[in-house]
Amino acid sequence: MKILVSDSLSKQGVEVLEKAGFTVVVKTKLPKEELLKEIKDADGLIVRSGTKVTAEVIAAASQLKVVGRAGSGLDNVDTPAATRRGIVVMNTPGGNTVTTAEHTMAMIFSMSRRIPQATASTKAGKWEKEKFMGVELYNKVLGIVGVGQIGGYLTKLAQGVGMQVMAYDPYLAPERAEKMGVTIVELDELFRRADVISVHTPLTPETKALINAQAIAKMKTGVMIANCARGGIVHEGDLCEALKSKKVAAAAFDVFEDEPVKPDNPLLALDNFICSPHIGASTTEAQENVAIGIAEQIVEYFTKGIARGAVNIPSVSPELLPKLQPYLSLGERVGLLQAQLLEGGLERLTVEYSGEVAGLNVAPLTIAVLKGLLTPILEDPVNYVNAPVVAKERGIEVKEVKISDAGDFASVIRVRVEAGKKSHQVAGTLYHRKDPRIIEIDQFKVEVVPDNHLLLIQNEDRPGVIGTVGHILGDHNINIARMQCSREERGGKALQIFGLDAPLPKSVLDQITNSKHILSVKVADLSKGL
């Protein structure tokens, strides 16, 4: 059994593989041609962030069964291509939590006391005590955008030095926030009140340029901003102008929109901007943890058939997986849709299985629903192993219900979520036991293919509303792939659902929202489901 290690890996991880009897080939920084040659007879591949596991690489791997990422990020792995080939993709979620949070805290300390600038000055032979007046962090307000694992651990660190922590996280249950000692606020309030702001969200269309000129204008003069999450969450051009005007006193980046960062990036010329080359996860302990972790997961997979840490399949037996796979895809997509319809902190989740599916082992299906539900709202990767743990940590109550009769369908998976006094219900089924369909959205009966981008519009049941929406989309050259309507009763509320090939620009969304007889407008990205 050959395991190719194509990026630098702690020796402890290599030793785990060798002790298990595997042939370990360590060849790092391979040119593409050599990688394509070396991967041909490999049974397993271990990478970090350097190797690009593209569809071409996967196609060249005739024996490859598993790709293991020593770390959490999978931006360099074409997971859909691997899935189509039946290749398991796994990572080590949580291995970088502590070290990334610590790096963020170090950046905050460095900004507050101007440590990098003072170091450079002193090494240059100067003694500029008056120039490097700092500020205390004690009793200052830290605003955290996104309270996943990293944001949660950063909370502990900040509270340890006497900082007050407020957070914006629409999916954090109030009970969980209370236990953490975190004040939940709206984003605008966080911008207004925070002395230091740190972002810990995934990079999505919603979070791209989340901190921009408009957001900065709402902040205190003298605010400090840290980004050790994903490049692009903070608009670099707008931040640069704010640093020049001293509206923002200091900023610290470990990540950039384009990496490696270009030498002519204007941020690099500013004295009140500090940065590091994406090293948030780069500690000896973290690298040992992820190396040993991925090695042990690879060994378990080949020796016991257990796919711990898998991001594209659950940990189920090979015999059961083919029967469960269509339901896994359905459950994840129902959860993914629910996450994007939900407003407020998720408190309770009920997954109801009706018909044939109720006779199966539904535990992996519930995990698939959780994975879909949590993926859009967390910075940290969510997979079939950590989804239940993440849900528990966030105080989400999960309940399973089995019903023998599915009515007009062979099987139905119905997902109910509760957030405060609000609740939402989405149900799905399989056509021909393989093709997923959404058949209920709250009180509306529908028939929706859950893929690509959906535009969901609630409106008054009045003549001309559909035409208005179609006209707006047409004027902006937006193609409608699919469309259907549903209503409660004549003259009541109606639901329009449009399947689109691409995300909807905000300007178009606003135009639809402000149209006559429109009650609500939501968009959902289902392009990243199973």
Q: Which amino acid would we find at residue 370?
A: L
CA distance 251 to 196: 9
Tell me the angle at which helices 11-19 and 284-304 cross, rounded to the nearest 10 degrees. Answer: 20
Instruction: Give the residue from 57, 131, 136 showing the smallest Cα distance to 89.
Output: 57
- The answer for residues whose C-beta is within 8 angstroms of residue 437's C-beta and 6 or more apart is 428, 429, 430, 431, 447, 448, 449, 450
The one catalytic residue in 85, 113, 193, 278 is: 278
Give, in order, the Cα–Cα distances in Å from 345 to each of 20, 186, 263, 376, 377.
45, 12, 42, 14, 11
What is the bridge-based pairing of β-strands 411-419 and 422-431?
Answer: antiparallel
The one catalytic residue in 69, 114, 230, 333 is: 230
SS3 sequence of 128-186: CCCCCCCCCCCCCEEEEECCCHHHHHHHHHHHHCCCEEEEECCCCCHHHHHHHCCEECC
Answer for the pair 27, 6: CB distance below 8 angstroms, yes or no.
yes
Residue 447 appears among annotated catalytic residues: no
Answer for the pair 456, 441: CB distance below 8 angstroms, yes or no.
yes
**Residue found by looking up tokens 């319809």 in the block:** 341
CA distance 496 to 27: 54
CA distance 322 to 341: 30
225: left (phi over 0), alpha (psi -120 to 50) or beta: beta
The one catalytic residue in 56, 259, 285, 343 is: 259
Tell me the angle at which helices 97-113 and 149-160 cross, rounded to the nearest 10 degrees. Answer: 50
Residue 176 appears among annotated catalytic residues: no
Vertex 64, ends 59 and 67: CA angle to 5°? 100
Give me the sheet containing 518-525, strands edge to edge: 480-487, 493-500, 453-460, 518-525
Vertex 520, ends 515 and 525: CA angle to 5°? 110
Give me the sheet containing 66-69, strands edge to edge: 23-26, 2-5, 44-47, 66-69, 88-91
Q: CB 449: neighbour CB atoms within 10 A?
A: 18
What is the bridge-based pairing of β-strands 164-168 and 141-145?
Answer: parallel
Give, in order, the Cα–Cα distances in Å from 238 to each of 211, 262, 370.
9, 17, 36
Residue 348 appears among annotated catalytic residues: no
The gap from C-alpha 197 to its chain's centroid, in whole angstroms, comes to: 19
Residues forming the active site: 230, 259, 278
